[in-house]
Chains A and B, each alone.
Chain A
Amino acid sequence: MLSRAAANLYWLARYMERADNVARILEVAERASIMPNSAGEPQSEWHSVVIASGNEQGYFERYDEISREKVVHYLTVDTSNPGSIRSCIEKARANARAVRTVLTSDIWEALNQTWLDLIGDKREDVARGELQAFLAWVKERAQMFSGGAHATMLRDEGYWFLRLGTMIERADNTARILDVKYHILLPTDEGIGGGMDYYQWTVLLRSVSASRSYYYRYRDTLRPWQIAEFLILSEEMPRSLIACVAEVHSLLDEIAKLDGRRHECHRLAGQIYSHLRYARIGDIFETGLHEFLVEFIDRNHRVSDEIADAYLQ
């Protein structure tokens, strides 16, 4: 497969995943902001959103202060923000258009229709105050994309590079969401947090669609160390760090089988995977959750760079 085509697929998937994730964090923040007795500053929830989306610097270059309206506009429809949902979908579609030949028509049409709706019917949704409907639509389109890919794409390099993009981006997003909230997971003397902590934990789980599955998995009340374990070390949780890394690791293995060559990205991915596989949540808390997450984000980023180096150029 052409290196350029592989790169287009990889980035197409990353941008769709990013759009999906921005929609998720906004959805949860919106929910949090309508709850009574928010602790701390009234705007801190929106500030967290900007940080978790990885757009903090860009935001403050444009705005002096955090407000719901500004954050929402900036992260949804702002064409000047390269990380807004609109920009992500635009770039996803442009990447898809450049590799139409390796996409099935189902995927292409899903993406193209998403783009046409975005600049058509959906254009004014956010300005009209229909944020929830808009975000639900974004998530639906993202799932239509990944569902279409899963159901229709040939299982060869093209699919693997697409999945690699999804997994690298997803790992990055889960790690960022965790990092923004890491302080609420730190062990305290109380066994179970007060009402506010409890509420924050729910928000955290919801933003990675893990609230129901947490209860299903642990059959227990929310406990911070269990939440951290679930989102970091639980392979059955599809948005956990280890689940993403495990898939990156096995996708790279599949790709290596084609030509027998292994690269630095294989070594790095293997290292991260085994590190997570044999880690214990207690040890992670001991060395520092924040430090752990920062290092993870950095290594995940390096895997992405090495993949590009080995295959995409």
Chain B
Amino acid sequence: MEVNSYRPVDHCFDEMMRTRTAPRAAYQKVREWLAAADPASLDLRRREAEILFMRIGVTFAVYGEGGDPERIIPFDIIPRVINGREWDLIARGLEQRVRALNQFLVDVYSKCEILHAGVIDTDLVLRNPAFLPEMNGFTPAGGVFTHVAGIDMVRVGEDEFYVLEDNARTPSGVSYMLEDREIMMRLFPDLMAAHKVAPVEHYPTELLTTLKSVAPSSGGADPTVVVLTPGMYNSAYYEHTYLADRMGVELVEGQDLFVDENRVYMRTTRGPQQVDVIYRRIDDDFLDPLTFNPNSTLGVAGLIGAVRAGHVTLANAPGAGVCDDKSVYIHVPEMIEFYLGEKPILKNVPTYRCGREADRAYVLDHLDELVVKEVRGSGGYGMLVGPHATKAEQAAFAERIKADPDEYIAQPTLALSTSPTFVDQGIAPRHIDLRPFVLMGAKGVSIVPGGLTRVALREGSLVVNSSQGGGTKDTWVLLEEPC
């Protein structure tokens, strides 16, 4: 299919086309480029990109399916373009949202004002599995819990952006944002030169600045920062190496660290060296076998003691996960009003809690129109997309909801915006989302323009997760409006 015969999906906002035949201003040049390009040469470039990803080793691992576990995430060569005005709105909304989430975390681990005020149900927070009583009464350095937040957003209209979920534990994907840009600059320098695309390659520097800003006051003049990885078998290992590499800091595993008198050291060729800030890519549960999962071999014994003593900073702080739970998500707009006294800029998707009787009845009656998710699920697993599910699948899901209603929420099926995507049949609309990465340090919030755009490569599919056949696109924020 050539770009001239590209037609948006009915009732879906399309990023490129304003009407069936007229493009949106931001996509004008991309469309011209697509019209002029020979499909065979585009295909060649696509394969070239795959070879580059494989060679650089930008892979993620899928275990249990046999064969070589290392895969590349499909990369789509057609960029996703966001104009400056749209980005401005998104960025303001993100900053507001992350500030509120962070204040919420500081609050629930100290004074619990939002709970006392009755804005959020106490049990929902304090009995949440992601809430860590071990962190009670503790405020991390600089008052920051969520140093790195990945906010999953979708678009349904010209100025309509919804937040689907907040990821405040160890969000991944930023290396794809950076590598996608590298590849685009290698493959299509002319197209990039024709646009004023906001750069993203300073992300690692911003991350390092953020991390150094929250070093314990006892830390040295130039704090020692490390990235803590579960190891090379973790599916996001590439990203861990990438970030450590670009920040110029050590990539450590649990076995490389030890705690002595509440201070953390790494084993080096010159003996022990003290560590001040740990950007950890290990879940809370595995951080410290003395405090949490005693069988964890990934973590460091005594780490939580060192954190609480204030001799080391963990990013993100342990216990930050309680704000990204899908049942807590429902209350983010209220948090924004409670802590900041502002109206939320980004919308929340209306959400039904199956634990509530009235909600549950509605959900069970409307399974064919709703998306049902596990409260603590992620990666696109364990969810039901009602309109795409068979009657049998819906019935099976209804049984699961009835058996354990607290574990499920439901949302209307949003018509995710589509973007032109290069697939086997040519250029066709595919649904996309956006995960911007929000950094928060002692001195404030910073956001690299854009983020990771994920695309559901299967026709009609709304699931963009890489584990479910999703791909990625380079995300361009234009510095100037095209005339």
Point out residues on A near B: beta carbons under 8 Å. Answer: 1-6, 94, 97-101, 105, 108-109, 112-113, 116, 119, 157, 161, 255, 258-259, 261, 311-313
Report if B241 contacts A (CB, 8 A): yes
0/1 per residue, B338-351, Cβ < 8 Å to A? Answer: 00000000000000
Q: With A2-B250, A5-B250, A100-B241 known to touch, is A109 a contact of B56 (CB < 8 Å)?
A: yes
Q: Are A2 and B252 in contact (CB under 8 A)?
A: yes
Report if B41 contacts A (CB, 8 A): no
0/1 per residue, B307-320, Cβ < 8 Å to A? Answer: 00000000000000
- Distance in angstroms from B141 CB to nearest chain A CB is 24
User: Please, which residue of chain A has its CB at the minimum distance from the CB of B253?
Assistant: A4
CB within 8 Å of A: which B254-283 residues: 255-256, 266-271
CB within 8 Å of A: which B54-78 residues: 54-57, 68
Residues of B within 8 A of A313 (CB): 267
Which residue of A6, A113, A259 contacts B271 across the interface (Cβ within 8 Å)?
Answer: A259
Which residue of A4, A99, A258 contacts B255 across the interface (Cβ within 8 Å)?
Answer: A4
Q: With A101-B250, A108-B57, A112-B55 known to touch, is A1 a contact of B268 (CB < 8 Å)?
A: yes
Q: Are B255 and A119 in contact (CB under 8 A)?
A: no
Q: How far is the CA of A312 from the CA of B268 in the complex (A)?
A: 8
Q: Are A101 and B244 in contact (CB under 8 A)?
A: yes
The DSSP consensus for interface residues of chain B is mixed
* Category for how many chain B residues contact A: 20 to 34
Q: Are A2 and B55 in contact (CB under 8 A)?
A: no
Q: Which residue, B57, B68, B232, B269, has most C-beta atoms of chain A within 10 A?
A: B269
Q: How far is the CA of A116 from the CA of B271 in the complex (A)?
A: 37
Q: Are A109 and B55 in contact (CB under 8 A)?
A: yes
Report if B251 contacts A (CB, 8 A): yes
Q: How far is the CA of A99 from the CA of B68 in the complex (A)?
A: 20
Which residue of A3, A6, A100 contacts B245 across the interface (Cβ within 8 Å)?
Answer: A100
Q: Are B56 and A105 in contact (CB under 8 A)?
A: yes
Residues of B within 8 A of A3 (CB): 256, 267-269
Q: Are B270 and A2 in contact (CB under 8 A)?
A: no
Which residue of B57, B266, B267, B271 contacts A112 across the interface (Cβ within 8 Å)?
Answer: B57
Q: Are A2 and B266 in contact (CB under 8 A)?
A: yes
Residues of A within 8 A of B55 (CB): 109, 112-113, 116
Which residue of A2, A112, A258 contacts B256 across the interface (Cβ within 8 Å)?
Answer: A2
- Distance in angstroms from A261 CB to nearest chain B CB is 8
- Distance in angstroms from B68 CB to nearest chain A CB is 7
Q: How far is the CA of A259 from the CA of B244 in the complex (A)?
A: 24
User: Please, which residue of chain A has its CB at the minimum distance from the CB of B244?
Assistant: A101
Residues of B within 8 A of A112 (CB): 55-57
Point out residues on B near A: beta carbons under 8 Å. Answer: 54-57, 68, 231-232, 237, 241, 244-245, 250-253, 255-256, 266-271
Residues of A within 8 A of B251 (CB): 5, 99-101
- Distance in angstroms from B398 CB to nearest chain A CB is 45
Q: With A112-B57, A113-B55, A259-B270 known to touch, is A101 a contact of B241 (CB < 8 Å)?
A: yes
Q: How far is the CA of A5 from the CA of B249 in the complex (A)?
A: 12
Residues of B within 8 A of A108 (CB): 57
Residues of A within 8 A of B54 (CB): 116
Residues of B within 8 A of A4 (CB): 253, 255-256, 267
Residues of B within 8 A of A94 (CB): 232
Q: How far is the CA of A108 from the CA of B238 in the complex (A)?
A: 12
Residues of A within 8 A of B268 (CB): 1-3
Residues of A within 8 A of B252 (CB): 2
- Distance in angstroms from B340 CB to nearest chain A CB is 39
User: Please, which residue of chain A has its CB at the minimum distance from the CB of B68?
Assistant: A119
- Distance in angstroms from B175 CB to nearest chain A CB is 12
Q: How far is the CA of A193 from the CA of B231 in the complex (A)?
A: 57
Q: Which residue, A100, A108, A119, A312, has most C-beta atoms of chain B within 10 A?
A: A100
What are 23 pairs between A and B in contact, CB < 8 Å?
A: A1-B270, A2-B256, A2-B267, A3-B268, A4-B253, A4-B255, A4-B267, A94-B232, A100-B245, A100-B251, A101-B241, A101-B244, A101-B251, A108-B57, A109-B57, A112-B55, A112-B56, A119-B68, A258-B269, A259-B270, A261-B270, A311-B269, A312-B269
- Distance in angstroms from A128 CB to nearest chain B CB is 22
- Distance in angstroms from B399 CB to nearest chain A CB is 44
- Distance in angstroms from B205 CB to nearest chain A CB is 16
Q: How far is the CA of A119 from the CA of B268 in the complex (A)?
A: 34
Q: How far is the CA of A313 from the CA of B255 in the complex (A)?
A: 10
Known: A3-B267, A101-B241, A161-B269. 13 other contacts (CB 8 A): A4-B255, A97-B237, A100-B241, A100-B245, A100-B251, A101-B244, A109-B55, A109-B56, A109-B57, A112-B55, A116-B55, A119-B68, A157-B269
Q: How far is the CA of A196 from the CA of B267 in the complex (A)?
A: 55
Q: Are A101 and B245 in contact (CB under 8 A)?
A: yes
Q: Are A255 and B269 in contact (CB under 8 A)?
A: yes
- Distance in angstroms from A273 CB to nearest chain B CB is 22
Residues of A within 8 A of B244 (CB): 101
